[in-house]
C-alpha cells in the first residue's frame, strides 16, 4: 500500500459487526469489489485478500524476518509467547542433556524456568485475550490516484479495554480457552518448586493433573486457531501463517500433555520420556510463536493473508 496517505481515498468502510462468523465477504456493489475478511487477520491488523472485476490485487511489501513494533499489541502477544517458549526450551534442554558434573543445574534450572515460563505464558494468554477485545471495528477500503485498490484496517478511537465480553466472537472463546489453560498450567509450575521441600503435597492432584488439564485447554485453543483460518472444517489452510502457527501450537500442547502423562506414569522414577516430551513441545511452541511474529511484522506479506 502506498505510504502517502494523501494519495489514497476511502471508497467504503465496512463494519465488522456485520460478520456473523470468523470469515466473511464484504462487497462493494458499485465498484464490483469483494473483500474477503478473516477475524484473525483483522485483530492482528493484516491485509485481507481483495477480489475485483479485473482480478486479485495483492499488496506488495518487503518480507521481514524480524522487527520491533512497540506500539502494536499483536506484536507484544507474539513477542511474549516467543520469550516464554525460549524459557521452556531452556527447561527442556537442561532436562535432556547430561549435567553429571553440575547437579545443581540439573536440579534447579528446570524448576525455576518452569515457574518463569509458566508465568510468561500466563501474561501472553491475557494479552492475546485482550487483543480480541481491542480489535478495530471497521475495515476501510482504499484506492490510490492510479486506480489501484488496497486495504487498511481502520483503528477505533476507544480507550484500551482491559476486560470485556464478546460471546459472539470465535476469537474471544479461542483466546479465553488459551488463557484458562495458561492459568491452570501455572499452578503446577509453582507447585513444582515446592515439592522438594513439601513432600506431603499430593503430586497427582496439584502437579500432574493440572498440567494435563492445562495442556488439554491448549490443544482446544490450538485447534480453534486452525479452524479460524480454514475455509471449512476438513480443509486445511496450507497457505496461511496463522494455520501453521496453530498447528505447531497443537503439537506443542500435545508434547506438554505427554510430559505430564509420562511423568505421572513413572512417578518421578524414569523421567526420560517426560523430559523429551517437554523439549519437543517447547520446540513446537517456539516455532508457533515465531510464525505468529512473522504474521504481525508482515501485515501485507506476499501471500496476502
Whether 5 has a pLDDT exceeding 80, the answer reads no
DSSP state of 44: T
Residue 19 domain flag:
no
Residue 94 domain flag:
yes
pLDDT of residue 2: 42
CATH code of the domain containing 164: 1.25.40
Residues in the chain: 305
Bridge partner list, 24: 37
What's the whole-number mean pLDDT along residues 93-115? 85
Residue 175 domain flag:
yes
DSSP state of 208: I
Range list of H helices, 192-239: 203, 209-229
What's the whole-number mean pLDDT along residues 133-137? 89
pLDDT of residue 57: 61
Range of the structural domain that residue 225 is part of? 73-135+159-297
Residue 1 domain flag:
no
Task: Give how many domains the chain has, as a whole number.
Answer: 1
pLDDT of residue 213: 97
Q: Where would I find the beta strands (DSSP E) of the chain?
A: 8-15, 23-28, 33-38, 50-52, 55-56, 138-144, 149-154
Q: C-alpha grid cell for residue 126?
A: 491475557
- Cα–Cα separations (whole angstroms), residue 213 to 126, 209, 304: 18, 6, 36
- Cα–Cα separations (whole angstroms), residue 248 to 38, 122, 198, 221, 222: 20, 18, 36, 12, 8
Whether 105 has a pLDDT exceeding 90, the answer reads no
Residue 268 domain flag:
yes
Place of cell 501471500: 303
pLDDT of residue 209: 95
pLDDT band at residue 277, thresholds of 50, 70 and 90? very high
Listed range (43-57, 172-186, 205-219) with the worst mean pLDDT: 43-57
Residue 3 domain flag:
no
Residue 242 domain flag:
yes
Residue 202 domain flag:
yes
Amino acid at each position: 500500500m502506498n505510504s502517502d496517505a494523501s494519495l489514497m481515498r476511502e471508497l467504503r468502510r465496512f463494519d465488522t459487526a456485520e460478520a456473523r462468523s470468523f470469515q466473511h465477504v464484504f462487497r462493494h456493489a458499485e465498484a464490483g469489489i469483494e473483500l474477503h475478511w478473516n477475524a484473525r487477520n483483522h485483530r492482528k491488523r493484516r491485509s485481507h485478500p481483495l477480489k475485483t472485476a479485473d482480478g486479485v490485487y495483492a499488496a506488495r511489501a518487503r518480507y521481514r524476518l524480524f522487527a520491533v513494533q512497540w506500539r502494536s499489541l499483536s506484536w507484544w502477544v507474539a513477542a511474549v509467547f516467543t520469550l516464554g517458549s525460549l524459557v521452556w526450551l531452556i527447561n527442556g534442554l537442561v532436562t535432556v542433556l547430561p549435567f553429571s558434573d553440575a547437579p545443581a543445574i540439573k536440579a534447579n534450572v528446570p524448576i525455576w524456568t518452569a515457574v518463569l515460563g509458566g508465568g510468561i505464558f500466563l501474561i501472553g494468554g491475557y494479552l492475546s485475550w485482550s487483543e480480541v477485545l481491542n480489535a478495530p471495528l471497521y475495515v476501510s477500503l482504499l484506492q490510490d490516484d492510479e486506480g489501484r485498490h488496497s486495504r487498511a484496517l481502520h483503528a477505533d478511537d476507544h480507550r484500551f479495554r482491559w476486560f470485556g465480553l464478546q460471546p459472539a466472537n470465535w476469537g474471544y472463546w479461542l483466546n479465553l480457552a488459551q488463557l484458562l489453560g495458561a492459568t491452570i498450567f501455572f499452578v503446577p509450575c509453582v507447585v513444582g518448586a515446592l515439592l522438594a521441600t513439601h513432600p506431603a503435597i499430593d503430586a497427582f492432584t496439584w502437579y500432574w493433573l493440572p498440567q494435563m488439564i492445562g495442556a488439554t485447554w491448549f490443544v482446544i485453543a490450538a485447534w480453534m486457531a486452525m479452524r479460524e483460518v480454514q475455509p471449512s472444517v476438513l480443509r486445511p489452510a496450507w497457505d496461511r501463517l496463522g494455520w501453521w502457527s496453530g498447528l505447531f501450537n497443537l503439537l506443542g500442547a500435545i508434547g506438554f500433555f505427554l510430559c505430564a502423562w509420562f511423568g505421572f506414569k513413572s512417578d518421578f522414577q524414569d523421567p526420560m520420556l517426560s523430559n523429551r516430551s517437554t523439549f519437543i513441545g517447547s520446540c513446537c511452541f517456539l516455532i508457533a510463536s515465531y510464525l505468529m511474529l512473522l504474521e504481525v511484522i508482515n501485515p501485507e506479506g506476499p501471500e496476502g493473508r
